[in-house]
Structure 1
Amino acid sequence: MQAYRASLLRFDAAGQPVYDEDGLLVVGPDEAGRQRVIDAGPHGAVAARHPDVAVTHWPGRIIAPGFVDMHIHFPQTDIIGAPSAGLLPWLENYTFPAEGRFSEPAHAAEVAEVFFDELMRNGVTTSLTFATSHPQSVQAFFESAQRRGLRMISGKVLQDRHSPDGVRDKTEQSLIDTEALIRQWHDVDRLGYAITPRFAPTSTDAQLRGAGELAAKYPDTWIHSHVAENKDEVKWARELFPGARSYLDVYTGFGLMRERAVYAHCIHFDDTDRLLMRETGTAAAVSPTSNLFLGSGFFDFEGADRIGCEYGLASDVGGGTSFSPFRTMLAAYYVGREGQTKPGLSIPPSQLWWRHTGGAAHALGLEGVIGNLQPGCEADFLVLNPKATPLLARKIERANNLEELLFSMIVLGDDRLVERTVISQAPSA
């Protein structure tokens, strides 16, 4: 076992923050060799229970759970900040040309390494991740994640229509490839597979039906797609699926809404949609920097909370403008203040943090596994330096309580705040 002494941030079962100014985190290996949290809490009490464990002391630092990004595109790493009039032109002019290159295994492998370097630098230890329609992109993603010992989720994109040459796949082969990748990678080490229709307009009924059949056959996989991001997209979906009550309802008809199903954006919803999300156990991935950048709209936090929808925060790189969870949390705060049915919502900083750690883990069906530092959790954690920059140091000194401390880091923090990212499992040889 090993122990680490610093200030310690974690969350209770209700998602409320627990903070020890002088804390101790004790970790040790499980039967699979993964480091898990054995004990956590105030230094005096925890040290007394583990008198013989060697302690690493990080004075002036904060130990916090690794961040969980609920929706991100690793092949879009190189198109962050590409200017566009909106979602659909952005896909046509930047996304699809960039993703077409991922048929080349060497290119996919190169971008995967850059992608994981950026995640680690920014303190993101788990992400639900789009690859491309090319199996090579999935292989590159999982091979890199496995070498690094990361808990990551991804899958081959399904898009057999309304897509250009180079990214459009073939219906039958796409489903054969998906099942082969599930068998190869799902639940291997810390890896998980997500059945990934890009979004309903780019899949035929046959492909969506096949995806739903695979989801039923492999119920512990994830489902990952987009819905109701942009008004033009919503209009298009209505034209393509006139029998569905709403854009979201399209996925219900193909068996693609259940626990471990995650849909990015979920902006242009009504309460019936939110009830459907709640009743099926489906979760929303809220992507505020992307929605602001592409002018897509605002996620209704008040509506989701009122109905009881599951949701967590996501960067949505490359529509999203930063790998940094601090930028994502700050953008979510802006959206809460300005973009609601009832404007002026002030999301507590601790709840922003929860929605990007333990709350996101809960929405993914991984509560008690990642996103927290309670006993039993895998020990993916961050060492934060709250005085990483002069202005942040000055602000932190004036924080009167935990909410002010966390908000100071959300507003002024960036990758410099993340001094160290510690992964539960040592990378494979």
Structure 2
Amino acid sequence: MKAYRASLLYFAAPESLPGQVTFEQDGLLVVGPDATGRQVVQAIGSYQQLASQVGSQYPGLQVEHLPGRIIAPGFVDMHIHYPQIDVIGSPAEGLLPWLENYTFPHEKRFSSPEYSAEAATFFIAELLRHGVTTALAFATSHPESVNALLGEAQRQSLRMITGKVLMDQNAPDGVRDETRQSLIDTEALIEKWHGVDRLGYAITPRFVPSCSEAQLRGAGELAAQYPDVWIQSHVAENRDEVAWVRQLYPQARSYLSVYEDFGLLRPRAVYAHCIHLDEDDRALMRSTGTAAAVSPTSNLFLGSGFFDHAGADRAGFLYGLASDVGGGTSFSPFHTMLAAYYVGREGQTKPGVSLKPQHLWWQHTAGAARALGLQGVVGNLLSGCEADFVVLNPQATPLLARKTSQAGSLDELLFSLIVLGDDRLIEKTVISQAGTA
């Protein structure tokens, strides 16, 4: 058992939109093992109200006092490519040339277990440095890449979901897989890793153009056979990509509906981008329980378009924020939240929406956890949640210290952190069962 005294940021009603924050200026967070031995939140609230109660319930409990600091839930990244740590910041004319010229050549390296292991170690260290404690990540088409990432995540006790990429067509040698073997490998990796410790598996067709009908059909059959695994892919990111899918499936109502036809839309299915959707697509997302991973830095960098937050909220489908490294330009949740604010202001509908700071924060924590089907598990600090959290230092830089000291409201404080924050704001990342990083 351990307790922390600091300012606390969490969500008392995590299911509600737009995710109103609860903020305790002087709060107490108590963590300890549950019946299974997991480190979880045992109590949270006002220090004045909880201190005597907790002290009598847990005699000798040590309280770590962190004056001037804010404890908040660890961030949840709904879409990120671990093999693209060396692709980030590569210039390109758009999505498809970027894949051909940078991404696929780099991903060939992950056939090597040694290279995969080194990249996985770096990748997870970078996540933790930026306060990300749960991630849904792409690996490559090589099983070695999955084994390396989940093995390192297991060593770090990180909650990680990933999967071997399926891509048996329209891809170069070295990353293109073989249809039957790709499905055999996927099932073997599910059996090996899914549900082990804090790990999960995601069936991962890269996107429709990279997968044959036989491969997509096999992916859907595996999704039906293993209903508690995740599904992840891309949809409607780029207009050229959308046109390509229309050529491949001229009878399909839309790009998104191709996935539906193969049984790949359901709860725990997460599709990155979801930019060029129509109202029928949004209704389909809602009716199937499928979630969108919103990737604003990537969409801005590659010129793909703007996610329509107003349309998503009108339809009522699930979504959360994602870095999309390496198309995305930063691991930092603060950079991602700020980019989402820019995108909301521009939007696909006029006038644009001004996303509130509390909503932005919710999208990268409790909202993202909800979209992944992990509400009440991660992304929040309510009783029973896994004890993943970050310690924020609002005085981390001179400009942050100057600005946050003048904040007259919670929104002003959070917006200052979003606009001016980066990895320096993360003083400590605490992982359930693993100590600190």
Which TM-score applies when normalising by structure 2? Answer: 0.97
Task: State the percentage of identical aligned residues.
Answer: 71
In the alignment, structure 1 residue 139 sits paired with structure 2 residue 154: no
Shift of the alpha carbon at 1:343? 2.7
In the alignment, structure 1 residue 413 sits paired with structure 2 residue 410: no
Contact 1:175 / 1:207 at 8 angstroms: preserved in 2?
yes
1:235 to 226, 239, 243: 243
In the alignment, structure 1 residue 123 sits paired with structure 2 residue 131: yes
- Show the counterpart of 2:385: 377
In the alignment, structure 1 residue 5 sits paired with structure 2 residue 5: yes
Contact 2:141 / 2:166 at 8 angstroms: preserved in 1?
yes
- Show the counterpart of 1:49: 53
- Show the counterpart of 1:346: 354
Shift of the alpha carbon at 1:84? 0.3
1:390 to 368, 386, 398: 398
In the alignment, structure 1 residue 299 sits paired with structure 2 residue 303: no
Structure 1 counterpart of 2:27, one-letter code: G
CA distance in 1, matches of 2:389, 2:182: 36
CA distance in 1, matches of 2:53, 2:413: 29
CA distance in 1, matches of 2:426, 2:279: 38
CA distance in 2, matches of 1:161, 1:31: 48
Structure 2 counterpart of 1:81, one-letter code: G
Shift of the alpha carbon at 1:340? 2.9
CA distance in 2, matches of 1:374, 1:342: 37
SS of residue in 2 equivalent to 1:38: strand
Contact 1:315 / 1:323 at 8 angstroms: preserved in 2?
yes
- Show the counterpart of 2:72: 64
Q: How well do the aligned residues superpose, as a CA RMSD in angstroms?
A: 0.7
Contact 2:4 / 2:29 at 8 angstroms: preserved in 1?
yes
CA distance in 2, matches of 1:366, 1:48: 32
CA distance in 2, matches of 1:292, 1:135: 31
Shift of the alpha carbon at 1:411? 0.2
Shift of the alpha carbon at 1:34? 1.7
CA distance in 2, matches of 1:425, 1:358: 20
In the alignment, structure 1 residue 334 sits paired with structure 2 residue 342: yes
Structure 1 counterpart of 2:294, one-letter code: V
Contact 1:302 / 1:342 at 8 angstroms: preserved in 2?
no
Shift of the alpha carbon at 1:344? 3.1
CA distance in 2, matches of 1:142, 1:344: 40
CA distance in 2, matches of 1:381, 1:38: 14
SS of residue in 2 equivalent to 1:72: strand
Shift of the alpha carbon at 1:425? 1.7
Task: Structure 1: state its 5+ residue gaps.
Answer: none
- Show the counterpart of 1:209: 217
Shift of the alpha carbon at 1:174? 0.2
Aligned residue runs from structure 1 range 191-270, under 5 A: 191-270=199-278
Contact 2:309 / 2:347 at 8 angstroms: preserved in 1?
no
SS of residue in 2 equivalent to 1:216: helix
- Show the counterpart of 1:149: 157
Shift of the alpha carbon at 1:31? 3.0
Structure 2 counterpart of 1:9, one-letter code: L
Structure 2 counterpart of 1:393, one-letter code: A
Aligned length: 427
CA distance in 2, matches of 1:318, 1:353: 22
SS of residue in 2 equivalent to 1:245: coil
CA distance in 1, matches of 2:352, 2:177: 45
Shift of the alpha carbon at 1:12? 2.0
Task: Structure 2: state its 5+ residue gaps.
Answer: none
In the alignment, structure 1 residue 26 sits paired with structure 2 residue 26: no
Shift of the alpha carbon at 1:309? 1.2
CA distance in 1, matches of 2:112, 2:203: 22
- Show the counterpart of 1:84: 92
Contact 1:336 / 1:343 at 8 angstroms: preserved in 2?
no
- Show the counterpart of 2:184: 176
Moved over 6 A (4+): none
Structure 1 counterpart of 2:156, one-letter code: R
Listed one character per residue, the Cα deviations across residues 199-243 of structure 1 (whole Å, up to 9, x for unaligned) are: 011000000000000000000000000000000000000100112
CA distance in 2, matches of 1:386, 1:349: 16
Shift of the alpha carbon at 1:16? 1.4
Structure 2 counterpart of 1:181, one-letter code: L
Structure 2 counterpart of 1:268, one-letter code: H
Contact 1:123 / 1:421 at 8 angstroms: preserved in 2?
yes
- Show the counterpart of 2:173: 165
CA distance in 2, matches of 1:219, 1:283: 16
CA distance in 2, matches of 1:49, 1:155: 45
In the alignment, structure 1 residue 365 sits paired with structure 2 residue 369: no
